[in-house]
Chain A
Amino acid sequence: MSEIANSNDLLVARGIGKRFGGLSALNQISLSIPSGAIYGLIGPNGAGKTTLFNVLTGIYQADEGTFELDGKPLTHCRSDQICALGIARTFQNIRLFGNMTAIENVMVGRHVRTRSGILGAILRLPSQRTEEQAMITQAQELLDYVGIGQHANQVARQLPYGDQRRLEIARALATDPKLLALDEPAAGMNDTETATLGKLLQKIKKSGVTILLIEHDVKLVMGLCDRVAVLEYGHLIAEGTPTNVKNDPKVIAAYLGMEVS
């Protein structure tokens, strides 16, 4: 386990704990995500993966421990502040703004990087118009980037399932994140869709965004991730390169149940 923070680490979490009543959902979780990596988070159902996500994105407050992004402490920030500081996320069960169009969804993602307010909108000031135009262009570019540019004006909830997943990624990317946290992006996808998603994630990684990935698809995780952390019952039981993790007897016993080839 990498307890010592490295200067190359983007996100560093130290001793994160979260309890729900008597249930200890997260226990002394410490991990560091190196900048520019794809970092996998795996574990059996109920291991605490999504809870950790919710703590790191400010939806839950941690009961113990601290975490920081690029040296800035985020432990007590609200989700919108965390997003502004550079962590964007998607949700396990897609949460789009269902009745807004695809491009509007992405434009909402740009909100945090834009300024114009009520007065600008009412008076249609030149600065507001320029900003609005820029937002539309950027949003369209992002839709093209994730491969659903042709659906820009379609209502989000009428998009096919796979496209909704991609739209959620586009909305998250619109906030210019340093760390993109994806909660089971391949859930419910077939092999072809999963392969396309894998390519998209690699493209995002190349553009310089660090990715934190919860995934059940072991093949995808092992093929894609630079490092992997394994959770079980709220404990971090292994951390390392995919090869190391996959051969760790604790992981095999607790999570995989048998050796994987």
Chain B
Amino acid sequence: MKSKVWLGLLGLALILALPFATDLLLGRSWVRLLDFALLYAMLALGLNIVVGYAGLLDLGYVAFYAVGAYLYAMLASPHLGMHWPLWALLPMGALVAACFGALLGAPTLGLRGDYLAIVTMGFGEIIRIFLRNLNITNGPAGIDLIDPIQMGGFSFGANHSLLGWDFPGIYSYYFLFLILTALIVLISHRLSDSRIGRAWSAIREDEIAAKSSGLNTRQLKLMAFAMGAAFGGVSGVLFAGFQGFISPESFTMGESIMVLCMVVLGGMGHISGVIMGAILLAILPEAFRPLSQFQQATFGHVWLDPANLRMLMFAVALIVVMIIRPEGLWPSPVRRRELLTNDDEKNSSHKAVP
């Protein structure tokens, strides 16, 4: 027990020291990447509620990210001349996105599997096309000069100094995102271990049996859509404030697929797995960037465009992982059971008997 406490404290210390160490060893752009990784972790945890807990394959999830981001961008930028503070916009982003989640979820309640995936994909695109063509969202040009996130008198975008040390905005953002990620982790965990969470699992396992056991599946699915969307909205708000500029191009279907990959790769339904998947996939493409310098150095010419090469390597890595570990890199015990083959099942049933 005591060693567990020490291990926890050590982990916490590592997480707190991470941005400073990264800055020192790899440079400032990597700290920025860390911030993005945390944003993606929040996003992936939101999608995890829908896909991992309730088993609803949603391919348009990025729409809720967009809703949160545009909400912040419109209410905290010169675009409409409004400058609302974060403490108002963050809950508002969650709420508005949750409403969108329920709204877009409602027509899909009778659908399952592939059909659900296609319809949600369509909704995701509809939202993006609206953002592209509406005047209030400034069309394809997007919105820029978005206020950096502010709380009280503290601006997260500005450089500060801490005990004489330089403390740039990306550090402040890191800690803000860290706190909110922790909050989302706590909420996810408590939901999964509750009456509602069990009901979601039941729907994922067998919808007809769930209905016959008295679960109002429509209501429960809407709750899952709304809850997942709320997390998406929160990450969107933070994204807009962090980035300072957003356009419809940030919210393409590719982004939805990427978030889904994070959930599936890490381990559907398992909080730690999903976070790991998010961080890995957010950082991996950057990690492949030096490949172009390597080509330049060895061949004196860049034969393969680094952007394409990165995506190729990325795809290969994903495929390999999915073949070797279909249950994800760090699956929950439940998912692992689901994907076990018959042979494994025999072995583990031996183990399960005390």
Task: Tell me, in angstroms, the Cα distance from A99 to B85 when the chains sit together.
Answer: 45
- In the bound complex, do residue B213 and residue A132 qualify as a contact, i.e. CB atoms below 8 Å apart? no
Task: Tell me, in angstroms, the Cα distance from A88 to B215 when the chains sit together.
Answer: 12
Instruction: Determine if A144 is an interface residue (Cβ-Cβ < 8 Å).
Output: no
Cross-interface CB contact of B205 among A84, A98, A112, A135, cutoff 8 Å: A98
- In the bound complex, do residue B195 and residue A131 qualify as a contact, i.e. CB atoms below 8 Å apart? yes
- In the bound complex, do residue A99 and residue B338 qualify as a contact, i.e. CB atoms below 8 Å apart? yes
- In the bound complex, do residue A118 and residue B227 qualify as a contact, i.e. CB atoms below 8 Å apart? yes
- In the bound complex, do residue B212 and residue A59 qualify as a contact, i.e. CB atoms below 8 Å apart? yes
- In the bound complex, do residue A111 and residue B201 qualify as a contact, i.e. CB atoms below 8 Å apart? no
0 or 1 for each of B315-354: is its CB under 8 Å from A? (1 = yes): 0000000000000000000110110000001001100100
Measured CB to CB, the closest approach of chain A to B210, in angstroms, equals 7
0 or 1 for each of B193-215: is its CB under 8 Å from A? (1 = yes): 01111110110011011111111
- In the bound complex, do residue A111 and residue B352 qualify as a contact, i.e. CB atoms below 8 Å apart? no
Q: Which of A43-88 contact B (CB under 8 A)?
A: 57-59, 78-80, 83-84, 88
List, in ascending order, chain A residues with CB within 8 A of B206's CB.
Answer: 95-98
0 or 1 for each of A151-179: is its CB under 8 Å from B? (1 = yes): 00011001000000000000110010000
Would A116 and B191 be within 8 Å (CB), given that A80-B217, A108-B215 are in contact? no
Instruction: Determine if A117 is an interface residue (Cβ-Cβ < 8 Å).
Output: yes
Interface size on A, residues (CB 8 A): 41
Instruction: Determine if B187 is an interface residue (Cβ-Cβ < 8 Å).
Output: yes
Interface range for B: 20 to 34
Task: Tell me, in angstroms, the Cα distance from A124 to B208 when the chains sit together.
Answer: 29
Task: Tell me, in angstroms, the Cα distance from A112 to B190 when the chains sit together.
Answer: 20
- In the bound complex, do residue B209 and residue A158 qualify as a contact, i.e. CB atoms below 8 Å apart? no
Q: Which of A100-154 contact B (CB under 8 A)?
A: 100, 104, 107-109, 111-112, 114, 116-118, 120-122, 124, 128, 131-132, 135, 154
Instruction: Determine if A255 is an interface residue (Cβ-Cβ < 8 Å).
Output: no
Chain B residue, CB-CB nearest to A157: B337
- In the bound complex, do residue B196 and residue A121 qualify as a contact, i.e. CB atoms below 8 Å apart? yes
- In the bound complex, do residue B198 and residue A132 qualify as a contact, i.e. CB atoms below 8 Å apart? no
- In the bound complex, do residue B213 and residue A112 qualify as a contact, i.e. CB atoms below 8 Å apart? yes
Task: Tell me, in angstroms, the Cα distance from A58 to B213 when the chains sit together.
Answer: 12
Would A83 and B198 be within 8 Å (CB), given that A118-B223, A122-B187 are in contact? no
Would A91 and B209 be within 8 Å (CB), given that A108-B202, A118-B191, A118-B227 are in contact? yes
Cross-interface CB contact of A158 among B205, B217, B227, B345, cutoff 8 Å: B345
Task: Tell me, in angstroms, the Cα distance from A122 to B230 when the chains sit together.
Answer: 14
List, in ascending order, chain A residues with CB within 8 A of B133's CB.
Answer: none
- In the bound complex, do residue B205 and residue A88 qualify as a contact, i.e. CB atoms below 8 Å apart? no
Instruction: Determine if B296 is an interface residue (Cβ-Cβ < 8 Å).
Output: no
List, in ascending order, chain B residues with CB within 8 A of A57's CB.
Answer: 212
List, in ascending order, chain B residues with CB within 8 A of A118's CB.
Answer: 191, 196, 223, 227
Measured CB to CB, the closest approach of chain A to B249, in angstroms, equals 34
List A residues at the B interface (Cβ < 8 Å).
Answer: 57-59, 78-80, 83-84, 88-89, 91, 95-100, 104, 107-109, 111-112, 114, 116-118, 120-122, 124, 128, 131-132, 135, 154-155, 158, 171-172, 175
Please name 8 pairs of A and B residues whose Cβ atoms are closer than 8 Å in the assembled complex, sorted by A.
A79-B212, A95-B206, A100-B198, A107-B198, A112-B214, A116-B195, A120-B194, A121-B194
